[in-house]
Structures are given as structure tokens and as C-alpha cells.
Amino acid sequence: MKRTFLLAAAMAALTPLAAAHAQGMSAGPVVASGNTLLSVAAEGKSTRTPDLAVFSAGVTTQAKTAGEALTENAGRMTAVIASLRKAGIAERDIQTSNLSVNPVYGQPKRMPDGSMEQQDPVIIGYQATNQVSVRQRKLDSYGKVIDTLVANGANQVNGPSFQIDNSDAAMDEARIEAMKKARARADLYAKAAGLRVVRVLTISENAGWSPPQPQVMFARAEMAGAPKSSPVAAGELEMTVTINVTYELAS
């Protein structure tokens, strides 16, 4: 009996806590009796010219042994990184992104009947790869930097991915536009229903960048006898914010 009494007392003590927890978990927008909930989605956009180009550059070498491949790679990669620094890329904008050594397998021989010889893979050498991720802040120099990299031994260049170094202001513009659109849409629905907007209950957002729009080539003065650098097109970046807003409507 004593054990039963203790269990009942414990359950009685937990019941208010459980009820309070359940109430907190189910808490959401509360509207006055007779009022209406309206959920609206709206999109805001802003555009900016990119001020940052992110790309990768590196060297891939191959030799009979892993050590030889790495040694050759290290020498050529040292020249590549030095050329980046000489081109004005800051130390903080150069970061190693990949360093790997992998075996290279020989191809199976073709038999007289046209079939491929069945045999275990044979390692015929090793391939070493070293890549750095680079942030180029002077976009008008991007083409010249790429040409300099290739001239100094880089045989892998990928990119660029155009970005904005600080997108806060542009994103805020998109947010303001989205909120204005949401409110205008809510007013439209409310008027059509013979109601009015009382207040905002909830706001949530999804945000991101869109790829560059159709690109415009950088203007570049040609000097007689000057080498031509690789052309670069930066275009524009579009920042997009989609918001979901819940309003309370009343008569």
C-alpha cells in the first residue's frame, strides 16, 4: 500500500509539469475570437556587381614513385604560390584545398580476338595533386592573374565563382522589399474579404544568391604590343529573400 501511495503522489506531482510542457510545445499564434489568420509568401530581390572572384589553381604531376611525384609537384607548386603573391593576392586569400597522391594503373591489353586481357590492375606510377583556393579581390586583374599562374606551372585552374564580400546591405534591401510586398498582398486579401489587417503574428525567411545575370565584359584598353589577358565577365549577382508572414485579420 505504501508503494502504491508513493507512486500516486509522484504521478500527481508530474501532471501539472507535463501539462505545462504540453501547453508550451503547442503554443502558436493566438487570434481573438472571430478573427482570421492569413499566411502570405512574398519575394524580395536586390542586385549587386560582384567584388570577389573565388577560384582554384594547382599542379598535377606524375612520376614512377610517389616520392618523385610529390617532389616535382612541390617545386612547381611553390612557383605557383609565389606567382600569386607577386600578382598581389594577399596571404589570407590563399588556402590549400587539396593535397593528394594516387596510384596510376596501366590499361589492360587487348587480345587478338578483340577482348581485353583479364589481369589484376598494375600500378605504373603515381599522380600528385596540390590545389589552392584563391580569393581575387581586384576583378579587373583576374585574367592577368590566371595567365600568370599558367605561365608559372599551374596546369589546373577552375572557376571563378563570383561573390560579394559583404552582402548584408543588399540582403537587407531584399528583406525590406519582401516585407512591403507581403503587406501589400495582405491588405489586398483583407480588402477583398471585407476585413482589415490587425497585426503580424509570425515571420520566417529563406535567402540565397542567384548565379550571375547575362554578363558584361570588362572594358580593357589595348596597348600596342601588350600581351592580351584572358577576358573576364563579372555580370551581376542577385540576392533573393523569400518570406512567409502570418497576419491577423479582423472586421
Percent pLDDT > 90 in the chain is: 63
Supply 192's cell numbers: 477583398
Tens-digit pLDDT profile for residues 76-91: 999 999 999 999 999 9
Residue 113 has pLDDT above 60, yes or no: yes
Q: Which of 88, 86, 99 is nearest to 152 (CA)?
A: 86
The 10s digit of each residue's pLDDT in 60-76 is 999 999 999 999 999 99
Minimal CA–CA distance to 132: which of 55, 76, 52, 230?
A: 55
Q: How confident is the model at residue 114 (pLDDT cuts 50, 70, 90)?
A: low
Q: Residue 108 pLDDT more than 90?
A: no
Lowest mean per-residue pLDDT among 14-23, 178-187, 198-207, 242-251? 14-23
Q: Which DSSP string do the residues of 122-159 spell out, in sequence order?
A: -EEEEEEEEEEEEEE--GGGHHHHHHHHHHTT--EEEE
Using the predicted structure, report yes or no on whether residue 204 has a pLDDT greater than 80: yes
pTM as predicted:
0.66
Least reliable range by pLDDT among 57-66, 102-111, 139-148, 228-237: 228-237
Beta-bridge partners for 57: 132, 157
Q: Using CA atoms of 143, 157, 88, 136 in order, give the dihedral in degrees to the nearest 10.
A: 80
Q: Which residue has the cell 550571375?
A: 212
Confidence category of residue 22, pLDDT binned at 50, 70, 90: very low
Structural domain spans, the chain? 29-49+167-250, 52-109+121-163
How confident is the model at residue 107, as a pLDDT?
A: 78
The reply to whether omega before 16 is within 30° of 0 (cis) is no
Query: Which fold is adopted by the domain 52-109+121-163?
Result: Alpha-Beta Plaits (3.30.70)
- The CATH code of domain 29-49+167-250 reads 3.30.110.170
Q: How confident is the model at residue 149 (pLDDT cuts 50, 70, 90)?
A: very high
How does DSSP assign 74-112, residue by residue?
HHHHHHHHHHHHHTT--GGGEEEEEEEEEEEEPPPPBPT
